[in-house]
Structure 1
Amino acid sequence: MAAAQMAAASPYTGRKPVVDRMLAMMREAKARGADVIVYPELALTPFFIMHWVDDLAEADVYYEKAMPNPDVQPLFDEARALGIGFYLGYAELIGQGEGAKRFNTAILVGKTGEIIGKYRKVHLPGHADYRPELPFQGLEKLYFEVGDTGFGTWQAFGGVVGMCICNDRRWPETYRVMGLQGVELVMVGYNTPTSVPWDTTFDHLTEFHNHLSVQAGAYQNSSWVVSVAKTGRDGPLDLIGGSCIVSPGGEIVMTAQTREDELLVAACDLDLAQKYKRSVFDFSQHRRTEHYRAICDQIGVAAA
């Protein structure tokens, strides 16, 4: 597995310089023995959700209307030529005008350059209203709709593979739904500020929480997790790094040392996931869902 941590994209140069950087990292990943490379959330553009717009159409330049398209076709062509798969996060626009739908999306591409699967982000953080008193906005709820794909898994790269995006990694349901489908490898891209100005209470724990979330998800669901950041300065934002590859035991096998373009490569034995799935986290033997339902009934909430 290769984790392609990336510095922020320029808002002025278009997608080509970003795609060129991604191609260079793809070639390096293949040279170092990787079968799959994971790029960050919204890899092709700046993290534009920090800017208020009166009309969402003003931001359409940041969305992909088709995938692949001429700007990103070189990634698909090079993947096919090299025999390497990839995960790519991007902003997706479907339709036009009042009926348009916008999603924060990731795709999984196989070694033949064909799209294997698509996921649309479910857990959207931030707000949808304009807050002029803040130094920057967090407008994912304005720019995107809640994803409609669910948390699927795919047979790929010799195992059971799943995807999620950024804030999804903080929620146990994300991993558990994929864990119940036997997931052995979860890929996640993210853009995470070092500070959220609407509540700075836990800013000092941002990087700790990043690793805590993916380590817990990996361990409790017996899965590898490859978690990859867009990092560094992005306009008014300072984005954390901390890209990492985590084993099914919850151990960080490798983590980024910089806040720049950095490629992590580690061997991920998917059979290791099965050791935990047949022992500590054998859901069929040890998971007691009937008790969850009984407790939920007692306190008057719906059982998940």
Structure 2
Amino acid sequence: MQINLLQCQSGADVQANLDFIRAQLARLPRIANEPQLVVLPEACLLFGGLESEQKKIAKAADESPLVESLANIAKQYQVYLIAGTIPILAHDGRVYSRSYLFNDRGQELGNYDKLHLFDVEVSDSTKTYRESDTFFPGNKISVIETPFGKIGLAICYDLRFPELFRAMRLAGAELIALPSAFTKVTGEAHWQTLVQARAIETQCFMLAANQWGACDGGRETWGQSMIVDPWGRILAQKETGCGWIQAPLDKSQLNNIRQKIPVAAHNRFVEPQLIE
């Protein structure tokens, strides 16, 4: 089985972003007859400028042409696709930042709405980020059964909240996908440390697909998409530029690590509970 992360520099043109994803999948280096898992970054179809632009393309889940487009891409290229994030209308006029998982026939296996919204001050050209003005937070964790194993879904800023990752591990996660658009400032300071820490703590593979570079509107993202194993080793990474990183999936090391260091059984703290 093969894991593939696509590092993007998505812009404000949805069609151009879709065309880029298709072009990259058309030239995806594949091991013959191996199932393919592909992870796209956060905001892969629309990024940069004002977050309010997300509202303009948001639809209800069953009416979204963006969901349909990415499902069709999964089917066309016969990959299991973690489809970055897509804006989906919420009940109060804001949108969910939703990640979908499609199988290689384009069927939805599950989805996840970003729980933690990026309302922070950063010492960059944007300075103030207020995702909650545009986005509505999710209310559940998501761990999905696939041929690759049980995959937990998280998004970008979620990375800073280890309770979420422990909850996914307790729900059976073996791999955790993290579509992201980490800023250059916070990425340089914390990205690698946090991705490796979440892998080590949960004893899961971390599949962290990031945006890279300056996008429309001036926002700068860090890149360094990474595949990290349950021991915290970096199996593959792409520090800059757009394109693929890949690694084979060896589940035997996950089982070996969990048997030798059974942290889930030793943990004496109560299980995390999501605040409603």
Q: What secondary structure does 1:216 align onto?
A: helix
The separation in 2 between residues aligned to 1:188 and 1:282, in whole angstroms, is: 22
Q: What secondary structure does 2:18 align onto?
A: helix
Which amino acid counterpart does residue 93 of structure 1 have in structure 2?
Answer: I
Corresponding position of 2:19? 20
Residue 269 to residue 100, structure 1, CA distance change in 2 (3 Å): same
Residue 154 to residue 5, structure 1, CA distance change in 2 (3 Å): same
Q: What secondary structure does 1:168 align onto?
A: helix
Corresponding position of 1:279? 260
Which amino acid counterpart does residue 14 of structure 2 have in structure 1?
Answer: R
- Please tell me whether residue 84 in structure 1 is matched to residue 84 in structure 2: no
Q: How does the TM-score come out when normalised to structure 1?
A: 0.78
Which amino acid counterpart does residue 105 of structure 2 have in structure 1?
Answer: T
Post-superposition offset of 1:40: 0.5
Residue 207 to residue 95, structure 1, CA distance change in 2 (3 Å): closer
Alignment of 1:191-230 (within 5 A): 191-195=181-185, 206-230=187-211
The separation in 2 between residues aligned to 1:136 and 1:303, in whole angstroms, is: 29
Q: Deviations over 1:6-58 (max 9, x none)?
A: 0131x2xx3111111111222333635561110001110013456xxxxx6x7
Structure 2: state its 5+ residue gaps. Answer: none
Q: What secondary structure does 2:164 align onto?
A: helix
Q: What secondary structure does 2:206 align onto?
A: strand
The separation in 1 between residues aligned to 2:26 and 2:35, in whole angstroms, is: 10
Corresponding position of 1:199? none
Alignment of 1:111-260 (within 5 A): 111-126=104-119, 135-148=126-139, 150-195=140-185, 206-234=187-215, 235-258=217-240, 260=241
The separation in 2 between residues aligned to 1:161 and 1:126, in whole angstroms, is: 27
Residue 81 to residue 237, structure 1, CA distance change in 2 (3 Å): closer
The separation in 1 between residues aligned to 2:74 and 2:250, in whole angstroms, is: 22
Q: How does the TM-score come out when normalised to structure 2?
A: 0.86
The separation in 2 between residues aligned to 1:38 and 1:88, in whole angstroms, is: 6
- Please tell me whether residue 66 in structure 1 is matched to residue 65 in structure 2: no
Percent identity, aligned pairs only, is 22
Which amino acid counterpart does residue 40 of structure 2 have in structure 1?
Answer: Y
Asked whether the equivalents of residues 207 and 242 of structure 1 are also in contact (C-alpha less than 8 Å), the reply is no
Superposed CA RMSD: 2.8
Structure 1: state its 5+ residue gaps. Answer: 51-55, 129-133, 196-202, 294-301
Post-superposition offset of 1:63: 2.6
